[in-house]
Amino acid sequence: MKFFLDTAKIEEITQAAAMGFLDGVTTNPSLVAQTGKSYLEVIQEICKVCKGPVSAEVLATDYAGMMEEARRWRKVAKNVVVKIPLTGDGLRAVKTCTEEGIPTNVTLCFNATQALLAAKAGATYISPFLGRLDDIGIEGMEVAQEIRSIYHNYEFSTQILAASLRHPLHVKQAALLGVDVITIPFKLLPALIHHPLTEKGLQIFLEDAKRIPA
């Protein structure tokens, strides 16, 4: 399973890369707005650090506007993946991007039927927002399982990119379901690493090491 970092902060991306957790990066307008920089500047900076896929989102909502932005984003760096919302115009843009060899990440997916349509349009990645589904009382992982089953049934090449993950249990469940990629905020990394028994065991080893003759 690949780990993408969901951020626009270059310092977080650099730290994750140093820890060996960085396979790619996803961004969105909300994350970029927190940096005080232009979207283009942020993506250019990220692509210098991350050699894996970097998602840059279109801001247009109509087909023509999406395609104009998609082609422009694709010229920024070879590893840019164009992030497109799951709308009618969005799916049309995904189909055209696929025909032109532009990789896509279809975002704001909330059910398996939407994911099916994205795969048929040729999406490179589909991003179901699992945590947001949990927030409204729908089991997000069940939706991920449905998507996994449908893609397996018809041998779609679209990769499942589990998004809006909130805690370590989400990461474990996604891995057990066999999703291709997860994208997580930087703050979730320490929670994945730390365990009280690991800390306790390390402390015991360090105390015992003090008794070893020099």
CA distance 67 to 54: 18
Name the DSSP letter for residue 129: B
User: Strand, helix or coil at 126?
Assistant: strand
Q: What are the structure tokens assigned to 214, written together?
A: 């020099």
Report whether 57 contacts 29 (CB < 8 A): yes
| Catalytic annotation, pick one of 2, 83, 95, 187 | 83
User: Strand, helix or coil at 85?
Assistant: strand
User: Strand, helix or coil at 211?
Assistant: coil
CA distance 13 to 114: 30
Rounded to 10 deg, the angle between the 63-74 and 88-99 helix axes is: 40
Paired with 56 in beta bridges are 82
Q: What are the structure tokens assigned to 212, written together?
A: 């070893």
Report whether 29 contacts 23 (CB < 8 A): no
Q: Is 2 tagged catalytic?
A: no
- Indicate which residues carry an active-site annotation: 83
